[in-house]
Amino acid sequence: MPRKPTRHRRLLQVQPLTFSPFAHSVARVATAYLGVDQADFAFFDPKPDDFHGVKTLLQSYLDNKQWDLSGSIDLILGQTTVGTVVKLEDDEDNGVFSIITALNLGRYKDHKCITELKEFLLNVGQGKDKIGNLRSLLGDKGQNVGLLVSQRVVNLPPELLPHLYYALFDEVLWATEDEPTEELCNSFHFKFYILVSKIYKHKNANQKRSSSTDKDEAIIYVKPEDEIFHKLSMRSFFPLQTQQFTTHELKDYQLTGIVMAVKAENVSSFRQQLQTLINES
């Protein structure tokens, strides 16, 4: 399998796809606001100049919690062998449209940002849908757990998703062989991935549906790949404090946080299902 060059750059010209009336409405609003309905996107290794662009994408990553966001961005940008940022080709503003990476929770356990993130996840994971061994995954098993961070602008074309995730999981594999020390190589031998995301959950999802709402989906996924991760994961839902984006289609839905723990052995299944999802859209 070919290795990634020191500076990763791939050019893709795409137009946005949508997966539902809700996704169409969100993409329409976002496209009008961001003006990137058709563009040339390029993939790059993270670098310090991306700090402010990545910070914008991660601003509400942990809802409205005050935490060491800057510290987490420093970790992301400092890990150049695993991770990708997406930008517009020849964009003078150097805007970041997507960031994807995987951070070893054990390797960075002493960093303030990781300590605060773990505290947040343990506090919100106390509901009846909690992940049974989340405390263990965030604790003594953390050496084999990767925090999979994937944030982007809402109208980033879904055609990019297979490229982004394939690149990430390939880079993780290569890092287990190519990092300069055995310790660093071992830090990418993940057994689990933890993901933090947001979904729209029907307000009556936990109640018996009436005939008038039977046609409504129980969950609407803001990011289409989260539907696949959801099926493959142990998960826990948690309420959000931040104000939600509201449209007529969402009047019966509540923006909800979700923590998912996915076994690394399910990555191949995820990749296949993601490609099928994009091909069928």
pLDDT digits (tens, 9 = 90+) for 40-51: 899 999 999 999
Highest mean pLDDT among 133-142, 234-243, 250-259: 250-259
* CA–CA separation, 108 and 180 (whole Å): 18
Among 79-83, 188-192, 236-240, the least confident range: 236-240
Higher per-residue confidence, 54 vs 90: 54
Local confidence band at 251 (pLDDT 50, 70, 90 cut-offs): confident
Tokens representing 77 are: 């940008």
Higher per-residue confidence, 124 vs 187: 187
- Give the per-residue pLDDT at 223: 93
Tokens representing 99 are: 């960031």
* CA–CA separation, 122 and 239 (whole Å): 14
Helix (H, G, I), strand (E, B) or coil at 127: coil
Which helix or strand (DSSP H or E) is residue 192 part of? strand 192-202
- Give the per-residue pLDDT at 91: 74
Q: What are phi and psi of 30, to 5 degrees?
A: -65, -40
Helix (H, G, I), strand (E, B) or coil at 105: coil
- Give the per-residue pLDDT at 38: 54
Local confidence band at 14 (pLDDT 50, 70, 90 cut-offs): very low
Q: Which residue has the tokens 């055995």?
A: 182
Closest C-alpha among 44, 60, 51 to residue 9:
44
- Give the per-residue pLDDT at 224: 93
Q: CB-based burial of residue 194 (10 Å sphere; 0-12 exposed, 13-18 middle, 19+ buried)?
A: buried
User: Is the predicted pLDDT of residue 215 greater than 70, yes or no?
Assistant: no
* CA–CA separation, 280 and 19 (whole Å): 10
User: Is the predicted pLDDT of residue 16 greater than 50, yes or no?
Assistant: no
Among 18-32, 82-96, 208-222, the least confident range: 18-32
Q: What is the pTM of this model?
A: 0.85
User: Is the predicted pLDDT of residue 277 greater than 90, yes or no?
Assistant: yes
* CA–CA separation, 260 and 238 (whole Å): 11
User: Is the predicted pLDDT of residue 187 greater than 60, yes or no?
Assistant: yes
* CA–CA separation, 98 and 85 (whole Å): 6
Report the chain's mean pLDDT, rounded to a whole number.
Answer: 83
Among 20-24, 69-73, 172-176, the least confident range: 20-24
Helix axes 267-280, 225-232, angle to 10 degrees: 150
* CA–CA separation, 126 and 103 (whole Å): 24
Cα Rg, the chain, nearest whole Å: 19
